[in-house]
Structures are given as structure tokens and as C-alpha cells.
Amino acid sequence: MTRVFQTLPSPRFPDPADAPALRWGVLAPGAIAADFTDALHTHSTQRVVAAGSRSADRAAAFAAAHGVERSYGSYEQLVADPEVDVVYVASPHPQHAELALLAIAAGKNVLIEKPIAVRPHEAREIAAAAREAGVFAMEAMWTRYLPQTDILRQLLADGVFGEVRVVTADFGFAATFDPASRLFDPALGGGALLDLGVYAVSWASFALGAPAGVIASGTLAPTGVDEQVALILNSADGAQALLSTGLRSGTPSLATICGSAGRVETDSPFWAPSGLRFHEADGTLSIHWEDPYGRPGREGMVYEAAALARYVAEGLTDSPLHPLDEAISTLETIDEARRQIGALGVGAAAAG
Ligand SMILES: NC(=O)c1ccc[n+]([C@@H]2O[C@H](COP(=O)([O-])OP(=O)(O)OC[C@H]3O[C@@H](n4cnc5c(N)ncnc54)[C@H](OP(=O)(O)O)[C@@H]3O)[C@@H](O)[C@H]2O)c1
């Protein structure tokens, strides 16, 4: 049998440390903002120069803890800082749209934590506002910018899977039920799909594009948010994505792309720097690639920041690797799944 290749292609990614340095402002300095700031400062010349919180004390504490020069006691003050090039929106999901629109109205480029918004119509508003203002806007779907994802991108472009028929992904963890927490409170955008499932749906979109049909089955937490969900995403050509997400048990966080000529299985977790194994369909070839770059876990967020800095320097307003339209489409899939399992309030779907 003729081998398609003997080794996996190398990731074609420039070192994140070489990207043009931007001055970042963090809006809503919570847990992820801390890890993001540390990742940038450790692995790149990107600099978080300002933090804006609803509380001056929290902003000052964050700035002192993470080497940030300036702090503001309101979000409005941060977006008005003329020496901020790009705003990173790191609030709970329900505030993403409002804060992204605030930054865009101030003329700032914007990186918005995942999911880009709670409802699709909010995501469309962000995209429209950014296009109107001519600023760069991107969902922080950081998996798209990892070295391993570029290997997959090349394998897909080269057709080494043959006809892709099945795509799988799971992301679940065992959270302690707390009705007041961001994960379980509907007012804070709770639910597995928006927080974790977004990675799985985005994986399916990466491999198969937007689905033609969505089938969702799941259970609700006592607060009414989706607690555990299985999804089948059907493509027009018959390919299927089989996805699962949940908040009550840890799942392996593995993903696959399976086709007539071969398949790839990720190491865990598929959404962060890890590794890949490619198998030929006849089982004769198995090649493993392990991320060698030393930016583990959330330190891998530096790749999305460096990509954004390059796009801004090139004058782009949308990410070629994860365009706004795809973030909107992913949210539409999640919205439909939430509707099917009853995790959306009555009438909410109409506003989508
Ligand atoms: N990329 C990733 O790997 C990753 C990982 C975890 C989370 N995330 C995303 O990051 C976002 C934030 O998650 P997180 O875990 O960092 O949350 P968090 O620790 O709770 O921090 C969020 C911050 O948002 C601000 N905030 C604004 N309005 C708020 C409200 N109504 N209630 C509570 N806080 C509010 C708070 O800061 P101030 O009040 O000081 O302004 C708070 O510290 C989520 O959208 C999540 O999906 C991404």
C-alpha cells in the first residue's frame, strides 16, 4: 500500500514571542484574566498594561499581582485609555456582548472569551459593530491557534483522512453543585454547553463546518441550566459529529476526526496543548506527535494573543482561522441544543 506520508507535518506557526507587541487592557479581571495575563507576560512581548474592574480595589490588586501598570475602577475608564490597543473581555458570558460593544464603541480591537456571547443575536451584534467600526474582533477559541491544530489543518487540507464520516469530542468535569456559581446560575450564563460544550461544537465545526441538523438530549441542573448533554450534529453529506459535555463528571477530553483513509485521535485535553496520533485506516501506520513547545495548559493562550497581534498588524478585522461568522454559527448550534433540552427560558429562542 502506498503511504500518504511517513511523518506528520510540522506546525507552521511563528513563535508567539515574535509577534508585534500590542498593549492589552483586561476587562473583568477574574480567574481566566489572571492566567491570560501571566501567559502573555511569560511567553511573549504582548503586554497587559491596564486592568479594569467594577471595583478599583480589585483592579489595583490584579494589577499589583500580575505586573500591570494601570488599573481602573470602571470598565468605561479602561476602554477610554488611549494607550490600550486591544481589550480582552474576560467577564462571565452574559456580559461578553455588552463589554465587547463598549470596547468596540471606544475604537478598540477586542478579544472576547468563549463563548463569544450567550445568544446568537448578541454575537451578530458584536460582529456588525466591529465591521462598522473597522476594528478587529475575535472569540478567544484558543484551540484554533495551537500548534497541534495547525497539523490537523494541514492533514485536512491534504485529504489524508479520505472522506471524513465521524468526528467526536467530549469535555466534562465534575463541578460541585453551587446554584450561585457561574457554572450553574442561569443569570451568569450557567450550563455545560456554553462553558465546555463550546469547545466540542467548535471542534466539529473545524472538521465538518456548520451542521445541517442538530439532535440534543440531556438533563438539567436544579437551576434549569443544562447539566449533561449528548449531541449529534448531522452534515448535509451524511457525516456526523458525536459530542458530549457535562458538569457532573470528568470525561477524557479527547477528540477524533475519522475518515475512509485514516483517523486522528488527540491526546487529552484536545482543547489545550497536548498531542495527536494518526492511524491509517488499515491499521498499519500509527504516528504520534507530542507538543514539545513548553507552553502547557492555559499558557497556550499566548498563541491566540500572538495571532491576534499579527492580524492587527496586517490590517485584518477578522480571524482567518476562526472567523466571527463561525463563532456565530457555533452559538446557533448551542442555542438549538439548549432549546431542544429545555435549557432556554420560554420565548428565549425567538430572540436568537
Ligand atoms: N479560555 C479558557 O480556557 C477559559 C477558562 C475559564 C473561563 N473562561 C471564560 O472566561 C470567562 C470568565 O470566566 P472566569 O472563570 O474567569 O470567571 P470569574 O473568575 O468569575 O471572573 C469574571 C470576572 O468578571 C467580572 N464580572 C462582571 N460582571 C460580573 C457578574 N455579574 N458576576 C460576576 N463577575 C462579574 C468580575 O470582575 P470585576 O467585578 O472585578 O470587574 C469577575 O472577577 C467566561 O466567559 C469563561 O467562559 C475561559
The pLDDT tens digits for 222-259 are 999 999 999 999 999 999 999 999 999 999 999 999 99
Which of 91, 110, 308 maximizes ligand 1 atoms within 8 Å of its Cβ, making it the mutation to test the pocket? Answer: 91
Domains along the sequence of the chain with CATH? 16-142 (3.40.50.720), 146-304+319-343 (3.30.360.10)
Provide φ and ψ at 55, rounded to 5°.
-125, 130
* pLDDT value of residue 243: 98
Report the distance separating Cα 29 and Cα 342, nearest Å.
32
* pLDDT value of residue 133: 98
Handedness of CA 130, 132, 133, 136 (dihedral sign): positive
Buried b (16+ CB within 10 A) or exposed e, 121-143: bbbbbbbebbeebebbbbbbbbb
> Binning pLDDT at 50, 70 and 90, where does residue 267 land?
very high
**Cβ-based neighbours of 58, under 8 Å, separated by 6 or more:** 29
Mean pLDDT, residues 77-101 taken together: 98
Tens digits of per-residue pLDDT, 164-178? 999 999 999 999 999
Is pLDDT above 50 for 2?
A: no
Is pLDDT above 60 for 311?
A: yes
Is pLDDT above 60 for 218?
A: yes
Tell whether ligand 1 has an atom less than 6 A from the beta carbon of residue 144.
no
The model's pTM: 0.97
Of 310, 281, 267, 277, the closest CA to residue 109 belongs to 310
Q: Closest Cα to atom 2, ligand 1: which residue?
A: 32
> Binning pLDDT at 50, 70 and 90, where does residue 3 land?
low
CA distances from 224 to 65, 176, 196 (A): 37, 16, 17
Q: Give the distance (Å) from ligand 1 centre to CA of residue 325.
A: 24
> Binning pLDDT at 50, 70 and 90, where does residue 349 land?
very low
Q: Which atom of ligand 1 is nearest to the CA of 189?
A: 45
Residue at grid coordinates 453551587:
178
And the C-alpha cell for 199? 469547545
Provide the mean pLDDT of the chain.
95
